Amino acid sequence: MPKRTAIYPGSFDPLTNGHTAIIQRGLKVFDRLVVAVANNPEKKPLFSAAERKVMIAEAIGDDPRVEVDSFDSLLVDYVRRRGIHTVLRGLRAVSDFEYEFQIANMNRHLLPDLETVFVMTGEDYFFVSARLVREVATFGGDVSAFVPANVLAALKAKLASRPVG
């Protein structure tokens, strides 16, 4: 049987337990996943794409079903280049729906072969976002329940090395 592969794209700035839950659920549906870090310097990310890739690879550990990559083009161009026409996305609360609906339809308009598959998060993580994690951590809040241990360490190191103000 051919292997089913999907691309799971996102900013992952940084990876959260919400993301890892989507990866684990995705692996119940797909044989392989390519976790693809969107490298968009205009978003002024806290972590570089290279740092985000390392954090994801560390958090996932040695799993031959998961590849970690990055891309700095339109998602549809990356999808075309990789020849993998299925995209995995996570859905949290209602607030995600409109945005995800827009991009899924725009992507399908740009590349009619592309199919987006959504996995809904469990109640444990439906309120967790990378943006919230960044904000809470920046002001010294405890985010240990929401990110893998290596990401927590990387957040502490990154924020300690940043100039204050």
Please report, as ranges, the residues that interact with ligand ADP according to CB under 6 A: 10-12, 16, 18-19, 22, 89-90, 92, 96, 121, 125, 128-131
Quick one: 94 or 164, whose CB is closer to ligand ADP?
Answer: 94
Report the residue number whose CB is nearest to ligand ADP.
18
What Rg, from alpha-carbon coordinates, does the chain have?
16
- Reading the block at residue 102, the tokens are 């827009």
Q: How far is the CB of 38 from ligand ADP (least distance, A)?
A: 7
Quick one: 93 or 149, whose CB is closer to ligand ADP?
Answer: 93
Quick one: 86 or 121, whose CB is closer to ligand ADP?
Answer: 121
Q: How far is the CB of 111 from ligand ADP (least distance, A)?
A: 18
Q: How far is the CB of 61 from ligand ADP (least distance, A)?
A: 20
Name the residue among 109, 148, 147, 114 with its Cα closest to residue 129: 147
Q: How far is the CB of 11 from ligand ADP (least distance, A)?
A: 4
- CA 162 – CA 46 distance, rounded (Å): 10
